[in-house]
Amino acid sequence: MSRYQPPLSLTLPMLGLVAEISEQIGRLSALHAATLTPQLRRGNRIRTIQASLAIENNTLSVEQVTAVLEGKRVLGLPREIQEVRNAFAAYEAMPDWRPSSRADVLAAHRLLMLGLIDDAGQFRRGGVGIYRGDKLVHMAPPPSRVATLIDDLLAWLEVTELHPLIASCVFHYEFEFIHPFADGNGRMGRLWQTLILSQWRPVLAWLPVESVICEQQEAYYAALLAADQQAQATPFVEFMLQALQQALLNAEQTDQVTDQVTDQVSSHVIRLLEALKGSTGLKTAELMPLLRLTHRATFRSNYLSPALTAGLVEMTDPLSPRSPVQKYRLTAQGLNCLGMSKT
C-alpha cells in the first residue's frame, strides 16, 4: 500500500455525480462507437488544447489553433504558437504513458514546455507561490520535497480503490497543490486527469472538459482555493465532477447535432457550397444575397459555421479570421461533396 493517502471526504453530491456521469459515459460510449470519426476526434482535441491554453492566457482562437496544426501561417505570438504545437504533441503521445510513472510525467512536461522554459521535463529547483492579482493564495511545498511528494502521489494512484472519476480529480488537485514544475502545472494537471480517465474509459480521451473549465475559470480557481483552505480535495473534486458532467452533456448535445448532419449538408450547407462553386472566394456580404438571407446570425450558425467545422469551406485569410474583407472558398473536401474534383 502507498504510504500516502490524500485527505478527502466523500460526500453525497460527489457520489451522486459519479453515478450520473457513469450513465452519461455509457450512453456516449455506445454512440461514439459508431460516430466518433477521426475528424470529430481531431475537432475535440483542438477544442481541448485551445481551452487548456486559454486558461493559461494563450489568446489564440479555435480557428487559429486549427490553422497552426494544419501548418498554416498564423498571426500570433511565437510563444503561443509553440504552446499549441507542444500541447498537440503531448495529447497525441498520451496513449503511450502510464498514469503512475514518474518518467512519463517528466516526459509529458518536456513535450508540453519544449522551447518555452529552460528546465522542461525537470522538477522545479526553487520555491513558488501562486498569486491572484497581488494576493498570495497558495505557497507550494519547498523544492526539496517535490520529488518525494510526487512519488507518493503516483504510488497512491497506482493502488487506490477510489472510483477512477474521483481518483482522477483528487490527483488533479494534489498535483496542483505540489506544483512540481516551474511552469506548466495547470496544463499538466488537466492532461494527466484526462490520461487517468482515458485508461478507464477510452472515449474520455476525446472529451473536451477543458472547454467547460475555461468557461468557469473563476469557479475552477475558487475550488482550488477552497480545497487548500479545508486541507482536503473535496471542494475541488465536486467542482471537477460537475465540469465532467457538463462536458458530457455538451457532447451528448453535439451527438444530437451530428445525427442531423446529413440533413444539414443536403440543405443549408449544400446551398452554401453551391453558392461558392466556381468562385475563388466570396465575402459574407456577397454570399448572403445568393442564399436569399438577410440575418447574419442565421447565416453564420446554420450555413457558414457547420461548413467550416466540417472542413467543406475555408477562409482565404486564416491569419485574420475576423477581417471585414474575409472571404470563404470551397476546400477539396467541399468540392468532393459536390461531386467535383479540384483542378
The three cell numbers of residue 304 are 457558414
Domain count, the chain: 2
Residue 98 among known ligand-binding residues:
no
Active site (annotated) includes residue 109: no
303 is in an annotated binding site: no
Q: Is 4 annotated as a binding residue?
A: no
CATH number at residue 149: 1.10.3290.10
Of 32, 172, 179, 268, which residue is the catalytic one? Answer: 179
One domain for residues 212 and 297 = no
Q: Is 221 marked as binding a ligand?
A: yes
Question: For residue 18, which of 295, 336, 248, 329 has the smallest C-alpha distance?
Answer: 248
The answer on 124 and 59 residing in a single domain is: yes
The three-state secondary structure class of 329 is strand
208 and 79 within one domain: yes
Which residue in the block uniquely carries the three cell numbers 470563404? 328
If you search the block for the grid coordinates 455509457, which residue do you land on?
A: 26
C-alpha angle 174-28-87 in degrees, rounded to nearest 5: 45
Per-residue pLDDT for the chain (343 aa), expressed as one digit of tens each?
A: 457 899 999 999 999 999 999 999 988 777 655 555 666 678 889 999 999 999 999 999 988 999 999 888 888 999 999 999 999 999 999 999 999 999 999 999 999 999 999 999 999 999 988 888 888 888 899 999 999 999 999 999 999 999 999 999 999 999 999 999 999 999 999 999 999 999 999 989 989 999 999 999 999 999 999 999 999 999 999 999 999 999 998 887 665 444 444 444 547 888 899 999 989 999 999 999 999 888 888 888 888 988 888 788 999 988 888 888 999 999 888 887 776 544 4
Q: Domain range holding 143?
A: 12-258
Indicate if 245 and 269 belong to the same structural domain.
no
